[in-house]
């Protein structure tokens, strides 16, 4: 299947402030959960700004966690919200999430289009008959597909692991089946596009997520020498592999500043030596200041895309990253260095190699980030949204050969008969080709 990227031949201009965007549409916005302001929430923010009256449906919401733009919107939660302390326990509620997302009843006539932002179950929302559904897919359900082995390996008890394996089998079938309820998929990278093709047998257009390049900028004097500390900005969860950065900097006695928090925080603090410093979550101004000063950002995990490296590049900060996931699409030798194996020794060798090289030009790093600006994202998202709303039947009817025979599991309710698209409309957007 040839890769599809998004590049509308005649993109419509963005609405000016106060104008009604995109055909005065009435969208419903669907998001898995709102428990922080990370990359997915930053994508959702842009649609919330374009459609300020659109309600946001989300499984659960930790009040105050999602940033002022989303907190000011109408947020409609599921029955999971009623579970005591749910914002601290939601990761353990995965088996209940299919039922929760299918419990919403979007009213016919209330919405012109449904837009889901999905890395877990959001794409499985019930959509009224005749209403198109555009899914911006961060990844197919990670736990059931590409991170299944790691997830099961983290469960020590054999019986619990066997039960979890059965649950994941059911979730995988359900996740594949509910993909038929999506009119069109957008993928945030080639990596995610490939997963959608493998797991859902669907094509997807690639639209990289937005980065606020108006906020993340070079310092007033980008030619100043960068300070001798490395930086990680990340949720502290296992797949981010911040442990690799800590172990490598421990061995080399390099200073490392870790910005972020999460369930791995205590474990990582115990692993850290005297040159490792944890700041927890800080505001964006502090993060920007660290991007501008750091010797380099370390990005050691395999990511679906990775907004953090683009933010760093926008501030002129070089990036040292694991050469997996979407990193080959965003980081090259002109702005940093890639290492091949997710091992402390490999990262330590990369740090030494980077230190031996001439300094990276901060302005070159900035140029690498500019194609990912918010304005480009919103312009292209609106173009695809208009096309999806204008011709949903064409999209549905284009390649039934990709539908296949999909089993319907007994988790939640069976999906609405949905649409299937193919490469009939190969719009492309290649960030490297846009100045």
Full-model pTM: 0.78
**Residue 27: left (phi > 0), alpha (psi -120 to 50), or beta?**
beta
Instruction: Report the C-alpha gap between 410 and 401 in whole angstroms.
Output: 25
The answer to whether the CB of 415 falls within 8 A of the CB of 44 is no
Task: Write down the pLDDT at residue 425.
Answer: 32
Domain map (residue ranges) of the chain: 22-210+373-433, 230-372
CA 141 from centre of chain: 12
CATH no. of 22-210+373-433: 3.40.50.2000
H helices then E strands: how many in the chain?
16, 13
The length of the chain, given as a count of residues: 435
Classify 230-372 by CATH class: alpha beta
Q: What is the pLDDT along the chain (435 residues), one digit of tens a residue?
A: 434 444 433 333 334 444 444 448 899 999 999 998 888 899 999 999 999 999 999 999 999 888 899 999 999 999 999 998 887 788 788 889 999 999 999 988 899 999 999 999 999 999 999 999 999 999 999 888 888 888 888 788 989 999 989 999 999 999 999 999 999 999 999 999 999 999 999 999 999 999 999 999 999 888 888 999 999 999 998 889 999 999 999 999 999 999 999 889 999 999 999 999 999 989 999 999 999 999 999 999 998 888 999 999 999 999 999 999 889 989 999 999 999 999 999 999 999 999 999 999 999 999 999 999 999 999 999 999 999 998 765 555 343 333 332 233 333 333 333 333 333 332 333 333 333
What is the reported pLDDT for 402? 35
Q: Which DSSP helix (H) or strand (E) runs through 184?
A: strand 184-187
22-210+373-433 and 230-372 have identical folds: yes
Look at residue 358 and give its three-state secondary structure: coil
User: pLDDT value at position 72?
Assistant: 93
Q: Which helix (H) or strand (E) holds 28?
A: strand 27-31
Q: How far is CA 49 from CA 151, 208, 267, 383, in A?
A: 35, 18, 38, 16
């Amino acid at each position: 299947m040839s890769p599809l990227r998004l590049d509308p031949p005649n993109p419509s201009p963005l609405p000016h402030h106060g104008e009604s965007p995109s055909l005065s549409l009435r969208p419903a916005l669907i998001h898995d959960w709102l428990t922080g302001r990370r990359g997915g929430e930053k994508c959702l923010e842009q649609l919330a700004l374009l459609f300020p009256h659109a309600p946001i449906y989300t499984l659960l919401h930790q009040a105050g966690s999602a940033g002022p733009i989303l907190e000011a919107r109408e947020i409609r939660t599921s029955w999971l919200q009623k579970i005591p302390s749910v914002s601290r326990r939601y990761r353990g509620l995965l088996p209940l999430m299919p039922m929760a997302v299918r419990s919403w009843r979007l009213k016919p006539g209330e919405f012109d289009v449904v837009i889901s932002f999905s890395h877990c179950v959001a794409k499985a929302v019930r959509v009224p008959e005749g209403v198109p559904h555009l899914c911006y897919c961060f990844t197919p359900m990670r736990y059931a597909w590409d991170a299944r082995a790691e997830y099961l390996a983290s469960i020590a008890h054999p019986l619990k692991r066997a039960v979890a394996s059965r649950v994941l089998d059911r979730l995988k079938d359900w996740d594949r089946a509910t993909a038929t309820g999506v009119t069109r998929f957008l993928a945030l990278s080639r990596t995610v596009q490939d997963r959608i093709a493998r797991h859902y047998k669907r094509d997807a257009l690639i639209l990289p997520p937005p980065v606020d390049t108006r906020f993340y900028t070079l310092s007033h004097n980008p030619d100043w020498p960068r300070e001798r500390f490395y930086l990680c900005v990340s949720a502290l969860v296992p797949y981010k592999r911040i442990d690799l950065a800590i172990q490598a900097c421990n061995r080399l006695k390099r200073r490392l500043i870790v910005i972020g928090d999460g369930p791995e925080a205590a474990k990582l603090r115990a692993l850290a030596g005297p040159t490792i410093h944890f700041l927890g979550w800080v505001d964006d101004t502090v993060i920007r200041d660290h991007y501008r000063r750091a010797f380099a950002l370390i990005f050691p995990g395999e990511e679906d895309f990775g907004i953090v490296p683009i933010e760093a590049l926008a501030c002129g900060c070089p990036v040292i990253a694991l050469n997996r996931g979407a990193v080959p699409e965003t980081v090259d030798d002109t702005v940093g260095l890639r290492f091949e194996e997710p091992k402390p020794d490999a990262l330590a060798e990369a740090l030494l190699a980077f230190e031996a090289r001439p300094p990276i030009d901060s302005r070159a790093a900035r140029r690498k980030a500019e194609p990912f600006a918010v304005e480009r994202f919103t312009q292209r998202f609106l173009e695809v949204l208009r096309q999806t709303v204008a011709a949903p039947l064409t999209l549905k009817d284009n390649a039934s050969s990709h539908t296949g025979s999909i089993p319907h599991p007994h988790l939640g309710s069976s999906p609405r008969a949905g649409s299937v698209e193919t490469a009939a409309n190969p719009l492309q957007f290649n960030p490297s080709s846009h100045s």
